[in-house]
């Protein structure tokens, strides 16, 4: 499954990076992510792009603990409809259930195809919220952000509510481990057998002061519609487009390479696309065309920058392709939008 995050989630990360001193555009360029001016909050961004945004933010902020700070400094209900549903729930237990139900609307992870991302489990005489995503150690920054958001959002909205008792993570102790103590304010165990937060069981029954069944119903209906749309997009063509988008700025997105990335052979990918009435080369051409128009309409990038982002090694090749697509040069197209 090709995983994605919501555009609002990715942009919240950029907001924190900018607040911490990074140049927002520099982060976007480094990660190969420059959305158009008309991007909607519920648009989807490839997970690989989000991962690059996280790491480029840490680099440009000179902040190895950026994952923790992103989680602590972003308010979930401000960046995702999932947070709004949780905030309108009757109890913290219901908020957890709804967060789990719609979690992929904010961010999909490896393992979402097999079930819920989080589960409640009793271990060692305690109740744990366990993160079930696979291969978590390949991106420990997401573990940091997730647990920091869980703990600080509860602390911010309900400072007197008993919640976290301790945290376990499977990755090794990082050089910035002291920042875990400052942000999370509970004991942390590294190199554990789980990514989990031990919680006070009473937390699940705590009523939420912002609960509204009317608002809850409206948000739930909207979230379900978004979930249906997201699941319907799981065509082979959608997977290919997402994979190409991740690699577009590198210029390395031939069919054989994309097939390997999707865990397929080139021939099987060809057959599956053919069954959907899609030709790989046509799909790629349409994607580059669409993105080029979007970037040029934004009027924030030079023609050379647009050429790079849509996978051309030099602006002249891009200009020839663009003229083939729309009949005029990129500069003329931009002038015509003025």
* 154-164: pLDDT as tens digits: 999 889 989 99
Judge whether residue 336 has pLDDT over 80: no
The pLDDT assigned to 265 comes to 93
Judge whether residue 141 has pLDDT over 80: yes
The pLDDT assigned to 147 comes to 98
Among residues 313, 261, 320, 321, which one has the least CA distance to residue 286? 321
CA distances from 39 to 35, 75, 150, 229, 299 (A): 6, 21, 27, 17, 14
Q: What is the mean pLDDT of residues 281-309?
A: 83
The pLDDT assigned to 41 comes to 86
Judge whether residue 218 has pLDDT over 90: no
Q: What is the mean pLDDT of residues 306-319?
A: 89
CA distances from 286 to 155, 283, 291, 322 (A): 47, 5, 9, 11
Where residue 299 falls among pLDDT bands split at 50, 70, 90? low
The pLDDT assigned to 113 comes to 57
Judge whether residue 1 has pLDDT over 60: no
Highest mean pLDDT among 76-80, 107-111, 195-199, 331-335: 195-199
* 72-105: pLDDT as tens digits: 999 888 888 888 898 889 999 999 999 888 888 8
Where residue 205 falls among pLDDT bands split at 50, 70, 90? very high
* 231-245: pLDDT as tens digits: 766 678 878 887 888
Residue 191 three-state SS: coil
What is the C-alpha to C-alpha distance for residues 14 and 108, in angstroms, rounded to an integer?
18
Retrieve residue 237's tokens: 């063509």
* Average pLDDT in the chain: 88
The pLDDT assigned to 313 comes to 86
Judge whether residue 121 has pLDDT over 60: yes
Judge whether residue 201 has pLDDT over 60: yes
Where residue 178 falls among pLDDT bands split at 50, 70, 90? very high
Judge whether residue 19 has pLDDT over 90: yes
Q: What is the mean pLDDT of residues 314-338?
A: 84
Judge whether residue 274 has pLDDT over 60: yes
In degrees and rounded to multiples of 5, residue 188 shows phi and psi of -125, 130
- Is residue 309 packed enough to be buried (19+ CB in 10 Å), middle (13-18) or exposed (0-12)? buried
The pLDDT assigned to 238 comes to 77
Sorted by where each starts, the structural domains of the chain and their CATH numbers stand as 4-231 (3.90.1520.10), 236-336 (1.10.10.60)
Q: What is the mean pLDDT of residues 306-311?
A: 88
């Amino acid at each position: 499954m090709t995983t994605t995050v919501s555009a609002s989630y990715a942009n919240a990360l950029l907001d924190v990076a900018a607040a911490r001193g990074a140049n927002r555009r520099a982060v976007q360029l480094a990660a190969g992510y420059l959305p158009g001016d008309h991007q909607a909050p519920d648009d989807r961004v490839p997970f690989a792009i989000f991962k690059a945004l996280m790491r480029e933010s840490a680099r440009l902020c000179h902040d190895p603990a950026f994952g923790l700070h992103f989680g602590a400094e972003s308010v979930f209900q401000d960046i995702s409809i999932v947070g709004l549903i949780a905030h309108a729930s009757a109890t913290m237990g219901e908020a957890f259930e709804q967060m789990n139900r719609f979690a992929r609307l904010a961010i999909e992870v490896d393992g979402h195809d097999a079930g819920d991302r989080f589960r409640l489990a009793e271990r060692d005489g305690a109740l744990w919220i366990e993160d079930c995503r696979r291969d978590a150690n390949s991106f420990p920054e997401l573990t940091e952000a997730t647990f920091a958001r869980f703990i600080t959002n509860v602390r911010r909205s309900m400072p007197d509510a008993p919640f976290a008792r301790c945290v376990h993570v499977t990755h090794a102790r990082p050089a910035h481990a002291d920042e875990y103590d400052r942000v999370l304010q509970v004991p942390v165990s590294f190199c554990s057998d789980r990514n989990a937060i031990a919680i006070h069981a009473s937390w699940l029954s705590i009523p939420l002061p912002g609960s509204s069944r009317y608002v809850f119903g409206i948000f739930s209906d909207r979230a379900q519609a978004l979930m249906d749309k997201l699941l319907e997009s799981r065509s082979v063509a959608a997977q290919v487009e997402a994979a190409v988008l991740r690699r577009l700025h590198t210029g390395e997105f031939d069919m054989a390479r994309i097939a390997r990335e999707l865990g397929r052979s080139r021939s099987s990918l060809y057959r599956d696309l053919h069954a959907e009435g899609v030709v790989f080369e046509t799909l790629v051409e349409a994607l580059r065309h669409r993105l080029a128009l979007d970037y040029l309409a934004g009027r924030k990038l030079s023609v050379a920058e647009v050429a790079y982002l849509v996978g051309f090694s030099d602006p002249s090749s891009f200009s020839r392709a663009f003229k083939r697509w729309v009949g005029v040069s990129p500069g003329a197209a931009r002038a015509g939008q003025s």
